[in-house]
Structure 1
Amino acid sequence: MSADDIDRSKPPASWEHLAIKSGYTFYGRDKSKRATVLLRCHTCSELMSVHTHVLRTARAECTSCWLNALSSEAESAGLTLIGPDLTDSHRAHYLGVCGHTLNRQRGFIQRVGRGEVSLRCTDCLRERYAEMAENQGWSLLGKAINGKPNYRLFRHTCGFEQDVAICNLQSGRFTCNACAGNWASDPSAVYLFQFDFLDERTRLLKVGMSRNPASRLRHQLGLKDEVRAQILRVVTVASGKKALKAEKRLHGILRAVCPEFVVPNYELNWISVVSEIYRIEALPLISELLSDLEETLRSEQNPLPPKTNCASSRGLMQ
C-alpha cells in the first residue's frame, strides 16, 4: 500500500486509546476501505491493517509478530517455516531437514520444541515402510483396507494384496495368505543364541526353532537392558515340523547328558521364556549336536544311490 492510499487525518480519540491499549500506534485509514485502519506494532514496528470492528471489540494480533513466533517455534523444533495454513489458523506448513513438507498444528510444534514429543515425517515413514516391505518381497500400496491406523496395504510378488500390521512388517513375522502354507510345512530353522550380561561373568545359551531367528531374537524374547544377545548359529530345516522334531530331540539329549547345564526357570527373570536356556559350558556339546543335525539334513537331501546286487546286474546286462 502506497502513502497516497492512506488517510493520515486524526482519528477519533477513542480509536487512538484502543490502539495504544492493544500495543499499537494508530497510523491511518485505508482510503479505499474506510472500515479498515492501519496500526503500527510497538513490538516489531510493522504496519498491520485491521477492521474497525476488531479495533473496537477485540485485541488485534500482529501478523508480523505471529509469523515471527511461528518461525521461531519451527526453528526450535528443527524445522523451517514455509507459511501458515490458509485453511486452518491453527496449522502451518514446515520444511523438515529431510527435505519433505509437513503440515502440523502450532501447538504440536511448540511441544516438539520443548522436547515433550518427537516429530515424525510422514513421507520418511512411508519410504521406510516401503523399503522394509521391498526387502521382504512386498510393495507398499497405501492405507489399509480395514481402516486401522497401525496397518498398511501391501502387494506380494505373487500379486496378492493384503493388510499387514506395522509391527509384523518390522519384525518380519508375516506371510502371504495366498501362496504361503502353515508353520509346519514352511521352511524353518534351529538356532543357537548367546546372551552376555554386563557383569561380564554370566554367559548363557538358548536353543530353539523359528521361521525367522533374527526376528525371534529382536522382537520376542523381551530381553532386559543388561543383556547383550547374538546369533551363534542357524541350521536351516526344510519344514517347521522337522525343525520342531529336531529341536525336541536336541533338548532331550542335553537334559539327559548334562542336566547341570540346564538353567532353572527361577533364574530367568531377564527373558520372556521359562525354559530352553543353558550354561555356556554346554556350547561344545550343542555345537556338536547342531553339526550332526546339519550332516543328517544333507544326507536326506542327497541320499546315496541304492546298492545293486552284482549278479543281478550281470543278469540285466546279458
Structure 2
Amino acid sequence: MTQTNKTVLQIRGENHIVQPGQIHKRWSDAAESKGYRVVARVRDKNSLALECKTCGGLHVSRYYVLLNFQPGCPHCIEARWRETAKDAGVEFLRRDPKHRHYAFYRAECGHEIRRQFTFIERMARAEVEARCEICHHAREQEEAIQKGWELIGRDPKGDAQCRIYRHAEGCGTEARIFRNNMQTGRFTCPGCGENWSTGPSYLYAMKFALETGTEAVKVGFSRNPESRLKYQLHRNPDLPRELLLKVPMRSGRHAQRVEKRLHKWLATEFPDDLVPPEEFTDLLKVKSELYRAGLEATILRQMHRLQRKERRAAERSRIRSRSRSKRMRRARP
C-alpha cells in the first residue's frame, strides 16, 4: 500500500501532514497483532499514525517501536489516569511537560497540586493522602497567628520541621522555631524572653475516659490547654476527652503555684479519689494527679472560686495602675 495524497491529520491537538510512501505489510501485521491499525505515514519517513482498536484514538509512533515493542495508546493511558485520579478523590488536569512521571491534579479543596502517577495510585488504594501546599501553608499561618506570631517562610537550613516566624504581637523578633512547638506554644521568644513562666497561662480541668469504663478528671496548668488536650496528653488520638474549664492566670509561675496548692488540698481532703497510675499510664502521658469523676463538681467549684479570686486581683491591679498613673501626671512640672 502506498500513501500519496497530501492531507493533514489532527492527532492529539497537533496537525500532521500525511507523508508519501509505502505502508509495508509487516507494519500493518504488527499493528494488527498489537491492537492498532496503521492509518498513514506522518511527520517523517519513520513515523506512523496508529489508530487504537480499543478507543479509536490516533497517536504517532515510530515504525521500529511498533515492530519491536508494544506501543501504549496515550488516549487509553490518559483515560486510566483519569479513572485512577477519580478513585483517589482528585481530578486529573494535565501531564507535567517537564517530567514524564508527574501530572497536575485538582484536589478536593479546589487547588492545583503536582504529584507522581504512582502516588495517585497509592491514594486510590487508600495508602496515602495528598496534602495541598496552599491549604497547608494557610494552616501554618493560622497556627502562628493564634500564638501572636507570623509565619515568614521555610527554614533556610533545610530542616522540614522548622519554620521562620516573626513575633508580630510582641517584640518583632524573627526566630527559627519547630512547627510542633509553635502548635503547642512550648518555646521562648529569643527577643523579649517571654516564656511559660512569665507569660499568661491557664489553670485547667479535663475529663478523660479510661479503659475500665470509668472517667477521670485531670487538673493542671498550661499556656494553651486546647493544644495540650489535643496533642500532648493522650497516647491514643481517639481517646474520648473534654476540656471542662480553664481559668486565666497572670503568669505560668503563678499558675504552677496555684495548681500545687490545689493538688495538695485535694490529696488531703479526698485521698481515696486519686486514680492509681496503672489505670491510665497506657492511655495518658502523665504519671499522677488524676481524680475520680465523682470529684468533678468539687474540682470545678474550687476552680470557679479561684477564677473569682483572679478577677478581683486583676481588678485591684488595674486600679493601682490607674492611681499610679494619676500620681505621676500630677507630679510632672
Deviations 1:105-161 (A, max 9, x none): 111111212222222212221122222322332222222223112232222214322
Q: Say which of 182, 190, 195 aligns to 2:208.
A: 195
Which residue number corresponds to residue 280 of structure 1? Answer: 293
Deviations 1:214-273 (A, max 9, x none): 222221111557753222222222222222221111111122222112222222243221
Q: Partners of 1:16 and 1:81 in 2: how far apart?
A: 34
Aligned residues: 303
Q: Partners of 1:277 and 1:95 in 2: how far apart?
A: 47
Which residue number corresponds to residue 253 of structure 1? Answer: 265
Q: Does 1:264 align with 2:276?
A: yes
1:198 to partner: Cα distance: 8.6
Residue pair 1:25, 1:41 contacting (<8 A) in 2 also: yes
Which residue number corresponds to residue 84 of structure 1? Answer: 95
Q: Does 85-94 or 19-28 show the bigger shift?
A: 19-28
What is the percent sequence identity of the aligned residues? 33
Mapping for residues 67-106 of structure 1, pairs under 5 Å: 67-106=78-117
Q: Partners of 2:39 and 2:273 in 1: how far apart?
A: 88
Q: Does 1:119 align with 2:130?
A: yes
Which residue number corresponds to residue 72 of structure 2? Answer: 61
Which runs of no fewer than 5 residues in structure 2 stay unpaired? 1-6, 10-15, 321-333
Q: Say which of 5, 8, 22 aligns to 1:2.
A: 8
**Residue identity matched to 1:170:** Q
Which residue number corresponds to residue 29 of structure 1? Answer: 41
SS in 1 for 2:28: helix
Q: Partners of 1:40 and 1:300 in 2: how far apart?
A: 85
Residue pair 1:265, 1:274 contacting (<8 A) in 2 also: yes
SS in 2 for 1:33: coil
Which residue number corresponds to residue 151 of structure 2? Answer: 140
Quote the RMSD (CA, aligned, Å): 2.8
Alignment CA distance shift 1:298-1:49 (3 Å): closer
Using structure 2 for the length normalisation, give the TM-score.
Answer: 0.80
Q: Does 1:233 align with 2:245?
A: yes
1:102 to partner: Cα distance: 1.3
Q: Does 1:14 align with 2:26?
A: yes
Alignment CA distance shift 1:213-1:129 (3 Å): same
Deviations 1:148-187 (A, max 9, x none): 1223222221432223333233334444332243332222
Residue pair 1:222, 1:271 contacting (<8 A) in 2 also: yes
Q: Partners of 1:55 and 1:290 in 2: how far apart?
A: 80
Alignment CA distance shift 1:40-1:292 (3 Å): closer
Residue pair 2:151, 2:165 contacting (<8 A) in 1 also: yes
Alignment CA distance shift 1:8-1:52 (3 Å): same
Which residue number corresponds to residue 289 of structure 1? Answer: 302
Alignment CA distance shift 1:29-1:285 (3 Å): closer
Using structure 1 for the length normalisation, give the TM-score.
Answer: 0.83
Residue pair 1:191, 1:210 contacting (<8 A) in 2 also: yes
Residue pair 2:202, 2:221 contacting (<8 A) in 1 also: yes
Q: Partners of 1:284 and 1:95 in 2: how far apart?
A: 51
Residue pair 1:198, 1:227 contacting (<8 A) in 2 also: no
Residue pair 1:196, 1:228 contacting (<8 A) in 2 also: yes
Q: Partners of 1:290 and 1:28 in 2: how far apart?
A: 86
Q: Say which of 130, 142, 159 aligns to 1:131.
A: 142
Which residue number corresponds to residue 13 of structure 2? Answer: none
**Residue identity matched to 1:96:** A
Q: Say which of 192, 195, 205 aligns to 1:182.
A: 195
SS in 1 for 2:294: helix
Deviations 1:17-49 (A, max 9, x none): 32223322222212x522222222222222222
